[in-house]
Structure 1
């Protein structure tokens, strides 16, 4: 077995509603279609990494309920190891309500459910066999304590750490010293810049090549133009999971030992395919498609 991508993160059952346009505050609109499926930033990123062809282990929590069983099976069906995905009794699995308009734009409301039960001790135990060459990837949907435990444990184990700072929380500043690579979109990068300024903790530029910003159709950039990768021109169907696809493929490329510029190019191509399809996890491409 090659290097492993450990994903510490959220897993949700998505309820996806397609509509002509997103509602304004106080407005009711009709949905053209409704479907359910696997979602959550952690799960989406794990699926992307697994479909790239690397071994993936998921550390997280679902409810001891029917949705939890479905989510576990969905991850396992993609070849993701779920022996460290805990079922929490008397707590519902996480859910996300995803509204998508005809231009592919979305609005998402998340109910954390069992994702909120993932604690630091559980994360540390889940990473007890991580080793140099492995990549530990986390986001902020499961809370700062879980993310903090993930990056600090990974550091002690010699693994490479990637944190996707979404959804943004100013508490992420406490993680930066232990993170090898911070990944953010333009909005999250602006939030990070503001939080650093408010805390007197330096600037985004101080992170140098530890900061990677995704730019949507314009591609992505590492540091102060150390690497810039152009985007691909595609017809947008649904932007859901595009960022997660990028992050998962990026982590997989790093686990494979690819130079970061090559990993960024591969991740960008994967994300471009994702936005041309409807859905979250089901829209993520396999390596042979890229």
Structure 2
């Protein structure tokens, strides 16, 4: 039995380095082009594996050269690809990522084989934690969460990329809901979030689908909030020098679930995940930037009060 079960996407990330992100109708020149293992599911699986999780990863790739390369990369990043299905006649998923000088990014995704992910032939075994995102079919994720909740598993949903259908179909099946600020604005029906923390908290509470649910709101360099129906906890972020933010949210999710799978309390897991994410933005790429357990533990040991924002 794996302590962490992850259902999610695998993409080939084509990363283009640019001085400034293009505006609508604008052509810009890339200074560099790279390819990486990516996809929110794969990124989170790599993060969890590198931070010590005993995990199972369920995903799909196409029967193409990209699929072979992606499967090999998963294995190279400590994620066993035994449950990655090869879909005949489908191309593997791809993401085209533009990253500017400040480390901000713009991403376009073609799902490819990820749209074929199904649990029909995949028995769900008991696990301590189950993690999913929204780059694969929602119906499959609903089945995944229902089966796990019947067995007492903690279900964690990273509700990204934002998909309206998830609010009614998946939020009620989720114990820990992880969102960033733009995703919270989307699900709350707002163009932008208010600046006041109390107002943001009230908006987040409108998304709570059952009594014991926790919403974890990641706020980048400002830290993270854990919001319940009647409580609020703040975790400050470690100060860092940003190079590339691609995959930092995935790093947070994978590291958080890795800690939960070892039996850690949620506040401890959020703190650990926040430090892990701060390390990931100091390197290029998504899966390639995920820190190891030793990296995170060393950063926590070496941190001083001056290295924590807020």
Q: Same fold (TM over 0.5)?
A: yes
Q: In structure 1, what is the equivalent of residue 116 of structure 2?
A: 117
3-state SS in 1 of match to 2:81: strand
Q: What is the alpha-carbon distance in structure 2 between the residues aligned to residue 80 and residue 32 of structure 1?
A: 31
TM norm structure 2: 0.86
Q: CA contact under 8 A between 1:209 and 1:222: conserved in structure 2?
A: no
1:152 equivalent in alignment to 2:146: yes
TM norm structure 1: 0.91
1:153 Cα offset (Å): 1.3
- What is the 5 A alignment of 1:175-190? 175-190=170-185
Q: CA contact under 8 A between 2:130 and 2:155: conserved in structure 1?
A: yes
Q: 1:143 aligns with which of 133, 137, 147?
A: 137
Q: What is the alpha-carbon distance in structure 2 between the residues aligned to residue 256 and residue 105 of structure 1?
A: 33
Q: 1:274 aligns with which of 272, 276, 280?
A: 280
3-state SS in 1 of match to 2:189: helix
Deviant stretches of 4+, over 3 Å: 205-209
Q: In structure 1, what is the equivalent of residue 253 of structure 2?
A: 247
Q: What is the alpha-carbon distance in structure 2 between the residues aligned to residue 79 and residue 119 of structure 1?
A: 23
Q: In structure 1, what is the equivalent of residue 224 of structure 2?
A: 220
Q: In structure 2, what is the equivalent of residue 68 of structure 1?
A: 67
Aligned-residue RMSD, C-alpha: 1.7
Q: What is the alpha-carbon distance in structure 1 between the residues aligned to residue 84 and residue 126 of structure 2?
A: 16
1:53 equivalent in alignment to 2:52: yes
Query: Are residues 205 and 142 of structure 1, via their aligned partners in 2, closer, same or farther at CA, if it must alter by over 3 Å?
Result: closer
Deviations 1:47-71 (A, max 9, x none): 0000001112110100011111111
Q: What is the alpha-carbon distance in structure 2 between the residues aligned to residue 235 and residue 148 of structure 1?
A: 38
Q: In structure 2, what is the equivalent of residue 161 of structure 1?
A: 155
Q: 1:203 aligns with which of 206, 223, 236?
A: 206
Larger mean CA deviation between 77-86 and 245-254 belongs to 77-86
Q: What is the alpha-carbon distance in structure 1 between the residues aligned to residue 151 and residue 83 of structure 2?
A: 18
Q: What is the alpha-carbon distance in structure 2 between the residues aligned to residue 180 and residue 259 of structure 1?
A: 14
- Unpaired runs of 5+ residues, structure 1, are 196-201
Number of residue pairs the alignment of both structures matches:
278
- Unpaired runs of 5+ residues, structure 2, are 191-204, 297-310
Q: CA contact under 8 A between 2:7 and 2:41: conserved in structure 1?
A: yes
Q: CA contact under 8 A between 1:161 and 1:179: conserved in structure 2?
A: yes
1:103 equivalent in alignment to 2:102: yes
1:75 Cα offset (Å): 1.1
3-state SS in 2 of match to 1:250: helix
1:257 Cα offset (Å): 0.5
Q: What is the alpha-carbon distance in structure 2 between the residues aligned to residue 40 and residue 255 of structure 1?
A: 22
Q: In structure 2, what is the equivalent of residue 234 of structure 1?
A: 240
1:23 Cα offset (Å): 1.1
Q: What is the alpha-carbon distance in structure 2 between the residues aligned to residue 38 and residue 205 of structure 1?
A: 33
Q: CA contact under 8 A between 1:140 and 1:168: conserved in structure 2?
A: yes
3-state SS in 2 of match to 1:121: coil
Larger mean CA deviation between 170-179 and 83-92 belongs to 170-179
